[in-house]
Structure 1
C-alpha cells in the first residue's frame, strides 16, 4: 500500500490519548556543563543532549518520529549529472476520467495520476518526491488543496474535492526530488548546528561573544542554560574570562552552507525545485452543479478531505466554524473586554501587526523592546481590549533579544489565569526547521502540558494554534527552512494537539490553495482571511 503524505490537510498519523500527558520533572542543572553525545541511536552524530522523558512521552516521541519517516532514496554515485534524478519537465499528470466518464459535479472528487521521470525521460521506479497539488479558478478566486499519495514506485495520486461549479484547473508542483530530500535529511543528521547563534557576555569593561545553540559540538566547556521548569536545552560556549552569568543577549548568528557542488544542482529554481509538472492531456475540468442541491464533500478511501477552500477570495471552512467577514467595528465588538495573548514566531507577529492596524482604538504601548521579538502590547482602553505578542524561546533567529526577555511559551501559559475573556494564540515552527525533530517534539510536549493545565483551570479560555505555511524557496531558504522541513513539523504539530479543545488555523492549506505566491510571511489577503477565521471562532455567529 502506498504511503500517504499529508501535504495539505489535517491527516493524523498517531492518536495519543490525553492520559499520556504527564508533568515534566526537570532536573536542576549546573551552570557549567560537560558536553556529552546523546546515546539515542538516531542521534549518534548530532551531538545533542536531552533530559530523559517519561515513558509516555518517550513512546509518543517514537510514534511521531515514525509518522514523519520519509521513503529512503538511494544516493546516486554520479549525482552531479542529475540524469537519474526527478525532472519536472519530463514528468506529467493525467486526469482520471472518473465514474461518470468525464462528467463531474460539485461534491465529487477528482483524481489525478502523476508519473515522475528523470532527466533522460525514463520513468522513475521509486517514490519519495515532495509534490504539492492545487485545484483553482483564478477568475473566481477559488482554490482548494489536493491530497497527494505516494505509491512508492515513481507514480503518485492527487485527490481534489470539487467545491465550486465552473472551471477547475489542476496544478501539480515538484517541490523537491527524492534525491534532494536525501540531502536535506543528511544535513539535519550531520549538521544540526548549521544555523548558529551568538551571545554577548559583559561585565564591567570585559566583553566576549561566543557561539550558542541547542546542539553544540563538544569542543570546549559549555554554559548550560537549560530551562529549569520546562527542561528546554540551550547552551553557549563558556567565555574564557567571564562567568556564564554575564550573558546579556541572544543574537541570530548565521548559517553554514556545507553542500557539495553536485548537491547544489538538486536545488535549482526553474529546474527541479518548486517547478510545475505539465499535464498529459487536459489540465482542467468543468464542474457541474450538485444535482441534489447541496454540498457534501465525499471522503476518499485513502486521504482525508481539505479543511477549507477559497471562493471569491474568501476562505470557507468545511467543518466547525462559519467564517464571517470582520470590519473594524466588528473586530472591536468581537474583542471588547478580551485579552488576546500571542506567542510564537514572526508569522504570529504578523497577526498582531494586522490587528494593531485594523483597530482604530488600539494604541501600541511602547515597551522599548525589540520590534522583532517583543514583548509588544496594544491597548484599546475604551473597549477594554488588550493584545500582546511575545516571541518563543530559542532557537530563535531574531537579532539582539535581551536574555531577560527570552521566555518559553509553556512558562508564559503557566502564568495566565485564563477564562472567558482570554484568548491564547500560538504559532511555533519556522525556527526549528534545521534541528532534529525530537527538539520540536519535546518543545510541543512542553507547550501542550501547559495548554492542558490552562484549560483544566479555566476551561472557557480560547486557544488558537497556527500551523506552518509554504514559502518561496531559494538555495538558502531550502537549506535552512525548506517546505519539506515545515511539512514534517506540521504533521507533528497536528498530531500533538489532536483531541484538545483548541482551534486550528490551517495556514498550510490557506497558503497552498491561494493564488498568491508562497511567502514565509503570507500576503495581506491571506492574513485577512486568517484573522477572519480566528475572530469567527472567538465570536461565533449566533443562531437565528
Structure 2
C-alpha cells in the first residue's frame, strides 16, 4: 500500500473445492496479496435469478402537462406490463434506434403531452432469506506478510523487462483503437496507472492537457461516472469554461469550451432507462440519434459509458441497446474512419440487488462482445477501480478519475 501499487489477479476454479490465484509481479519491492469475496455462490444465485427472471427492479415517473399547466403523473418503464396499466398505455418509439418506452395512460391528458421524466421506485424483489444472503458482508484475506519482489519472478517477466525503478516496461506501441486488450490491462505504481496494452501517457500539467485536446470536439454520452471525466477536465483546466445551457445538471446536456485552442467538450446522459431527478423528456436524446448526427473525422472524439442504469433489467434490454449503438458506431466509422471512438467499461462499486458488481461484470462482458470487431478503444474502468485498496464507491475518487482520463487522452495524442 505504501507504494500505492496494485494489479488485478485472476482466479481459476479448479472444480475440486480449490482455486488457483494468479498475480503478475510487475514492480520490484513489497507485494501483498489481497482476496475479496464480494458475494457467496448462494448470493450470486439470487442475483442471477433476479437478472434472468425479473422484468425490472425499478420503475420511473412520467410527467404529462396540459395547455393550462395542469399536470398528471404516471408510472413508466421498459415494458407496458410494468406501468400498472396493462391495456391503456402510451408507447414511445425512438425513430433512430427503434426502442420502445411505455407510460401508463394519464387520466385525462393525451400521450403526446409527456414533458418530464424522473426516477420512480425501487421494488422489493427479494425474500428475507435472500436479503440476508446479499447483506452478508464481503470478506477479504490479506497475505500474512508483505513479500519482497526482486527483479526476477516466477511469472517469467524477467529482470530485463523492468526499468530503472524496477517496473515492468509498458509496450512501446502507441495507444490506438483496435489494439488487443491483455489481461490484466494494466497496473498501478505510485498512484499512476501503467497500461500493458500500449504506451499510456501521464498528463500532469494543464498545458499538456490543452495540447492534447487542441482542435478536438469531444462527445461524451453515458452515465454519471462518465460525467466525472467532464467534471475532472473542467476542474483541472481553468481556461475550459462551462457554458450554461440551462439544463438539468444530472442529465445534461453539458458543454465546456476553450476558444483559444478550439476545444469543445460535451457530455449528456443516455436516454431512458435513466434514474435521475426530473428532467425534460426533450433533453433525453438516444445515443443512436446523437451518433447519427455526427459527421466524424480526425477532430471528432466519441466516448461512450453505459452500464450502471441497465443492471435493474434483464440482459435483453441492454443487448437491444448495444445492438443499436454498435450499428451506429459502425456507420460512423464507415463514413469517417478517422473518428476516435472510446468505450468506457463500467466500474466497480455497487453491492446491492439493484447494481451489484456481479451485474457489472456481466454488463462489461456484453460491452466487449458488442464492439469486439470494431476499431474502437477501451478504458477498463473495472480493473482501474478494483486494483487499489480503496473504499467501494460507484463514483470513484479523483485519483482513479485522473488515471482514467490520462489513459483516454493517450488515445488522442
Given that 1:469 and 1:508 are in contact with CA atoms closer than 8 Å, whether structure 2 keeps it comes out as yes
Q: Residue 316 of structure 1 is aligned with which of 188, 194, 201?
A: 194
Q: Residue 262 of structure 1 is aligned with which of 129, 137, 142?
A: 129
For residues 365-401 of structure 1, the C-alpha deviation after alignment (integer angstroms, 9 at most, x for no partner) is 1110010010011111111110011110110001112
Residue in structure 1 matched with residue 330 of structure 2 by the alignment: 452
Given that 1:315 and 1:323 are in contact with CA atoms closer than 8 Å, whether structure 2 keeps it comes out as no
Residue in structure 1 matched with residue 151 of structure 2 by the alignment: 289
Q: Residue 524 of structure 1 is aligned with which of 374, 398, 405?
A: 398
Residue in structure 1 matched with residue 29 of structure 2 by the alignment: 166
Query: Does residue 431 of structure 1 match 2:316?
Result: no
> Residues 400-415 of structure 1 correspond to what in structure 2 (within 5 A)?
400-415=278-293
Residue in structure 2 matched with residue 76 of structure 1 by the alignment: none
Counterpart Cα distance in 1 of 2:217 and 2:196: 28
Counterpart Cα distance in 2 of 1:513 and 1:459: 34
Shift of 1:261: 1.5
For residues 158-215 of structure 1, the C-alpha deviation after alignment (integer angstroms, 9 at most, x for no partner) is 2111101121111111111111112122223443332110101111344211110112
Counterpart Cα distance in 1 of 2:277 and 2:71: 18
Counterpart Cα distance in 1 of 2:198 and 2:159: 23
Counterpart Cα distance in 1 of 2:183 and 2:108: 59
1:420–1:211 Cα change, 3 Å = same
Counting matched residue pairs gives: 388
Residue in structure 2 matched with residue 130 of structure 1 by the alignment: none
Given that 2:201 and 2:406 are in contact with CA atoms closer than 8 Å, whether structure 1 keeps it comes out as yes
Counterpart Cα distance in 2 of 1:278 and 1:304: 26
Given that 1:201 and 1:239 are in contact with CA atoms closer than 8 Å, whether structure 2 keeps it comes out as yes
Residue in structure 2 matched with residue 99 of structure 1 by the alignment: none
Given that 1:188 and 1:435 are in contact with CA atoms closer than 8 Å, whether structure 2 keeps it comes out as yes
> Residues 34-433 of structure 1 correspond to what in structure 2 (within 5 A)?
138-205=1-68, 206-217=70-81, 219-268=86-135, 272-277=136-141, 282=144, 284-290=146-152, 292-295=159-162, 305-433=183-311
Counterpart Cα distance in 1 of 2:206 and 2:284: 33
Counterpart Cα distance in 1 of 2:75 and 2:61: 5
Counterpart Cα distance in 1 of 2:311 and 2:80: 17
Counterpart Cα distance in 1 of 2:323 and 2:244: 33
State the SS of the aligned residue for 2:276.
Answer: coil
Structure 2: where are the runs of 5+ without partners?
Answer: 153-157, 163-167, 170-180
Given that 2:186 and 2:195 are in contact with CA atoms closer than 8 Å, whether structure 1 keeps it comes out as yes
State the SS of the aligned residue for 1:293.
Answer: helix
State the SS of the aligned residue for 2:303.
Answer: strand
Residue in structure 2 matched with residue 499 of structure 1 by the alignment: 373
For residues 429-482 of structure 1, the C-alpha deviation after alignment (integer angstroms, 9 at most, x for no partner) is 000001110111111111111111111111111111100111053xxxx11111
Given that 1:324 and 1:532 are in contact with CA atoms closer than 8 Å, whether structure 2 keeps it comes out as yes
Residue in structure 2 matched with residue 83 of structure 1 by the alignment: none
State the SS of the aligned residue for 1:521.
Answer: coil
> Residues 476-515 of structure 1 correspond to what in structure 2 (within 5 A)?
478-515=352-389
Counterpart Cα distance in 1 of 2:9 and 2:287: 33
Counterpart Cα distance in 2 of 1:258 and 1:437: 17
Given that 2:65 and 2:115 are in contact with CA atoms closer than 8 Å, whether structure 1 keeps it comes out as yes
RMSD: 1.8
Counterpart Cα distance in 2 of 1:152 and 1:487: 21
Counterpart Cα distance in 2 of 1:402 and 1:321: 42
Counterpart Cα distance in 2 of 1:255 and 1:177: 23
Counterpart Cα distance in 1 of 2:225 and 2:278: 19
Given that 2:245 and 2:253 are in contact with CA atoms closer than 8 Å, whether structure 1 keeps it comes out as yes
Given that 1:247 and 1:403 are in contact with CA atoms closer than 8 Å, whether structure 2 keeps it comes out as yes
For residues 319-344 of structure 1, the C-alpha deviation after alignment (integer angstroms, 9 at most, x for no partner) is 12332233111111111111111000
Shift of 1:528: 0.5
